[in-house]
Amino acid sequence: MKIFFLSLLIAIAAYLIAAVGGYFLITKLSSNSHDKSMEATMTAAFVLGPIAAIIAFIAAYLTLRAN
């Protein structure tokens, strides 16, 4: 149970890092001039954050489980 909750904590941290970093990258790199802030917010919150959280959870769980 300890491994699961630690992996969950790592996944939450990865979500926050990916969402904030993705937001700033999209605002700098996107060519969308009409609604750039909405594009950056939605992509960071619903695409980049969850993908990073899932990958981080699996990697952390497998790494901690192996030890």
Cα–Cα distance measured from residue 37 to residue 57, given in angstroms and rounded to the nearest whole number: 28
The answer, as to whether pTM is greater than 0.75, is: yes
Q: What are the tens digits of pLDDT across the range 21-44?
A: 999 999 999 998 899 999 999 999
Please give the single-letter amino acid code of residue 29.
Answer: L
Please report, for residues 6, 39, 58, the alpha-carbon distance to residue 36 in angstroms, rounded to integers and kept in the order given.
Answer: 35, 5, 32
What's the token pair of residue 36? 């750039």
How many independent structural domains does the chain possess? 1
Instruction: Quote the domain boundaries for residue 53.
Output: 2-66
pLDDT at position 59 over 90: yes
